[in-house]
Structure 1
Amino acid sequence: MELKVGKVNQTMELLPISVVGLGGWGKNVVRSFSQTRRAKLCVLCDENEEVIARQAVLYPYAATTTQYSEILAESNIHAVALVTPSPSHFNLAVQALNAGKHVFVEKPLSLTVGDAKELVALAEKKQRVVMVGHLLEYHPAVNLLKSLIQTGELGDIHYIYSHRLNLGVVRLEENALWSLAPHDISVVLYLLGKEPTHVTAVGQSYLNPGVEDVVFLNLRFGEEHMAQIHVSWLDPHKERKVVIVGSKRMAVFDDMHPSEKVRIFDKSANVKIGTANYVESITVRHGEIRSLIVPNQEPLLSETQHFVDCVLDGKTPRSDAHDGLRVVKILDAATRSLHQNGMPVEIL
C-alpha cells in the first residue's frame, strides 16, 4: 500500500510527523501533535487496525497504516513519534534515524546503556533530533521549582524526595522501577543539574514473581545532595509529589492537589556556630506557607511543541538523547542494586 501524504509547502515551515503506537498514551500524543503549532500530523500507525480506525475518525485528514516500513520509506514524513512498548524503542528509533527522520520517543530511551549510547551517537552522526518523552521536565510546576532553586529562594539544596504511588495499574513484565521511576529520575536530574555518583535500590515483588511492585531508589550526588524516589502500584494512596528541602525554605509540588500544586514552606533548621550546648546550637524556624501560581499549561502540549520547535529551529531539546542516556544509566545501576539486595552501585 502506498501512503497518500501530501507534499509540505516549505515556506509554511511545517513539520510533517507520524505517530507510531496509538493505544493507551499514544492517543494523547496524537491529540497533542494535532494541536501543536507548526506540526502537520500526516500518518497514524499501529499494528491494530481497530485502534487505527478509532483514531482515524478523530483525524480524518491523516493517512493510516499498519506498516512502519511505509513511514520510513515516505520522504514527505520528516519526523516520527514512537509511543510503543519500551522494548521496541531502540530498534524503531534506529530505523527512523537511518531513514533520515527526527525522532520523538517515549521514556525510557532504551532498555540498556549500550543501546542508549548507540542512539546518542547515531543521532549526532545523522544530525537528527532525538527527544525523549520525559514529560515532567515540561510541567509548569517543575519549571517553577527549577526557578526557585536557580534564584536561591530555597537556599542551598539539601535533598529531594518524590512519591509516585497508586493502587494499579499493575504491569506484568515491566517492574515499577522501569515503568514509573523514569519520570522522577528525570525531574531530579533536571532540578539539580547534575548526575548522581552512586545509587541504591531495594524493592519487592508481591503480585508477580520477579516483577517488583514497589521500589525505593536512593541517589547520591557526592557529599552534597541526595534524593529518594518511592514508586509503587501497590499503595492505598494515589500520590504524585516532589519535595525539595533547602537551607532557607522548603517547596512541595503536589500534582494531585486540585488548586495549590506548588507551596513554599518558610521553614528551616540551622546550626549556630560557636555555641557550646548542642541543643542550643540548633535553631528551628517556622514561617508562613505560601501557595504559588502555576501557569495553566498542559505539559504534553508544551513537550510536543518543544520537539517541533527544536527540529524546525535547529535547537537541542531539553530532554535530548543525552538526557535519555543519563536516565537509562541510573535505571541500569538501580536494577543491579536491586539484584544485589540494595548494594551501592557506581554510575559509570
Structure 2
Amino acid sequence: MRIGIVGLGYWGSKHVRVLSTLSDVDDVVVHDANASRMEVIAAAFPSVRQAPSLEALLASVDGLVIATQPSSHATIAREALARGVHVLVEKPLALASDDARQLVAMAAAARTTLMVGHTFAYNPAVRALRDLIRRGELGDVLHVDSERLNLGLYQSDCDVLWDLAPHDISIVNSITGTSPTSVRCWGRGHIDRSVTDNAYLMLDYEETGTQAVVHVSWLSPHRVRRLTVVGSQRMAVFDDLANDERLRVFDKGVTPAEVTQAHDQPMTYRYGDIHAPYIPFQEPLLLEDQHFVECIRTGNPPLTGGEAGLDVVRTLEAASVSLQTGTEVRLDEINLADAHRAHPPVLVLR
C-alpha cells in the first residue's frame, strides 16, 4: 500500500505523521510546491519519499491525501480519480456542488474510494453522542447549538464559512442521520469587508424536526469547540477542548404543564443527574487514516464518502447565497450552480 500526500501545511504534515506509523502502509510519498515544507518533512521523517511533481506523485501511489488549499481540491481530485487513484480530500470536498457531484460520479465509475476529511465523524466522543441519540436516550433531537471560534487563521482562498463550518455541518448531519433542507445565514467581514470572518448559520432538518444554529468566527479571543444537543428527554454537551469529560449528558428538560389557575407556571422543569460516560481517547485523524486505508483494501464505502462531502458543499453553497441575499435558502428549490456563479463563496483577501 503506497499512500501519497499533496500539501504539507498544517493538516498535510499531520497526515504524514499518522500514515508513517500505520503497519498497512508500506510507503509514504509526499509533494508540496513549497520547497521549505519538503525540507522540514524530510528532516522529521527520513523514511518518507519525495516526489518532484504532482504527476510523479500520482504515478507512484495507490491512494492520495489532498491537503492543499480548498480552491485546488477539486482539480487535484479529478486528476487522481482519472488515474484510478483512491482519494481522501481534506474538507471541504470542493468549493462548488457541480465539482463535488462530478467527483462522486468519477469515483463511482472508476470504482475507487472517494473520502472526505470530516475528522469529527471519527472523534470517539462524537460517535458516542451519535450512539446516544440513535438509542433514543436523549429523546427527539429538538435543537443543536454549535460554536467554533478562535482568533484567525485567515485563509487566502475562502471565508470563515468554508473554513470552519464544514466541521459543524458534518457533525450535525452525522448525529441526525440526515442533511438540512433549508439554510439561513448572516455575518460580515470586519477586518476586510470582502471576507466574512464571523457568521451564524441556522439549519433546518425537516426529516427529524431538528434546528441547528452554528456560530463560526475568526475573531474570538477564546478558542471554543463546543456543541450542545437539546433533546426532548435529556441534553448533552460535547466540548472538544475539555481535558476530560468531553461528553456530558444532563438529565434536564422542560415540559408543558397543565395550566388550571392563573398563577400556574406554563412549564415544568426537570433537574436530574449529570453523567459523563467514559470514552477512551483515540486520535480522530488516526482513525480517519486507518479507515481510508481499510476502504482501499476492502472496497467498503467510507463513513464520510463523497456523498457526505457533497451534502456539506451544497449546504455551504446555500449558506453563501443566504449571506448575500439575506433570505432563507431551501436546498431543493434553488439551482445552486447558478447561485454559486452569482454569489461566489470564495473571496480573495485584498
* Seq. identity, %: 40
Amino acid at match of 1:247: S
Amino acid at match of 1:314: G
2:347 is matched with: none
1:187 is matched with: 171
2:114 is equivalent to residue 130 of structure 1: yes
Query: How many angstroms apart in 1 are the aligned matches of 2:27 and 2:166?
Result: 27
Amino acid at match of 2:317: D
Alignment of 1:135-284 (within 5 A): 135-222=119-206, 224-272=209-257, 275-277=259-261, 279-284=264-269
Query: How many angstroms apart in 2 are the aligned matches of 1:66 and 1:249?
Result: 55
TM-score, normalised to structure 1, is: 0.92
Is the 2:239–2:247 contact (alpha carbons within 8 Å) kept by the matching residues of 1? yes
SS of 1:188's equivalent in the other structure is: helix
**Alignment equivalent of 1:298, drawn from 275, 283, 300:** 283
Q: Judge which range, 104-113 or 162-171, deviates more.
A: 162-171
Is the 1:218–1:227 contact (alpha carbons within 8 Å) kept by the matching residues of 2? yes
Cα distance, 1:132 vs structure 2: 0.4
**Alignment equivalent of 1:120, drawn from 104, 110, 124:** 104
Is the 2:147–2:216 contact (alpha carbons within 8 Å) kept by the matching residues of 1? yes
Cα distance, 1:317 vs structure 2: 0.4
User: Matched residue pairs, number?
Assistant: 330
Amino acid at match of 2:101: K
Distance 1:277 1:169, change over 3 A: farther
**Alignment equivalent of 1:38, drawn from 3, 21, 24:** 24
Query: How many angstroms apart in 2 are the aligned matches of 1:70 and 1:170?
Result: 31
1:25 is matched with: 11
**Alignment equivalent of 1:95, drawn from 55, 79, 93:** 79
Per-residue displacement from partner, 1:276-312 (whole Å, max 9, x unpaired)?
Answer: 4584452110111122212210000000001111110
Query: How many angstroms apart in 2 are the aligned matches of 1:269 and 1:42?
Result: 53
Amino acid at match of 2:179: E
Is the 2:129–2:175 contact (alpha carbons within 8 Å) kept by the matching residues of 1? yes
Per-residue displacement from partner, 1:179-204 (whole Å, max 9, x unpaired)?
Answer: 00000000000000011111000011
SS of 1:292's equivalent in the other structure is: coil
Query: How many angstroms apart in 1 are the aligned matches of 2:316 and 2:10?
Result: 23
Cα distance, 1:245 vs structure 2: 0.4
Amino acid at match of 2:121: E
Is the 1:267–1:287 contact (alpha carbons within 8 Å) kept by the matching residues of 2? yes
Query: How many angstroms apart in 1 are the aligned matches of 2:100 and 2:261?
Result: 53
SS of 2:43's equivalent in the other structure is: helix
Is the 2:20–2:28 contact (alpha carbons within 8 Å) kept by the matching residues of 1? no
Is the 1:48–1:66 contact (alpha carbons within 8 Å) kept by the matching residues of 2? no
SS of 1:35's equivalent in the other structure is: coil
Q: Judge which range, 110-119 or 218-227, deviates more.
A: 218-227
Cα distance, 1:43 vs structure 2: 1.0
Query: How many angstroms apart in 2 are the aligned matches of 1:242 and 1:302?
Result: 21
1:50 is matched with: 36
Cα distance, 1:73 vs structure 2: 2.6
**Alignment equivalent of 2:46, drawn from 60, 65, 70:** 60
2:337 is matched with: none
1:5 is matched with: none
Query: How many angstroms apart in 2 are the aligned matches of 1:87 and 1:282?
Result: 50
Amino acid at match of 1:256: L
Per-residue displacement from partner, 1:165-221 (whole Å, max 9, x unpaired)?
Answer: 112223344211000000000000000001111100001110012111101000011
2:93 is equivalent to residue 106 of structure 1: no
Is the 1:37–1:305 contact (alpha carbons within 8 Å) kept by the matching residues of 2? no
TM-score, normalised to structure 2, is: 0.91
Query: How many angstroms apart in 1 are the aligned matches of 2:325 and 2:237?
Result: 32
Is the 1:172–1:211 contact (alpha carbons within 8 Å) kept by the matching residues of 2? no
Query: How many angstroms apart in 1 are the aligned matches of 2:330 and 2:8?
Result: 38
Is the 2:71–2:157 contact (alpha carbons within 8 Å) kept by the matching residues of 1? no
Query: How many angstroms apart in 1 are the aligned matches of 2:9 and 2:197?
Result: 23
RMSD over equivalenced CA pairs, Å:
1.4
Per-residue displacement from partner, 1:74-99 (whole Å, max 9, x unpaired)?
Answer: 3xx21111110001000100000111
- Structure 1, unaligned runs of 5 or more: 1-14
- Structure 2, unaligned runs of 5 or more: 333-350
2:302 is equivalent to residue 317 of structure 1: yes
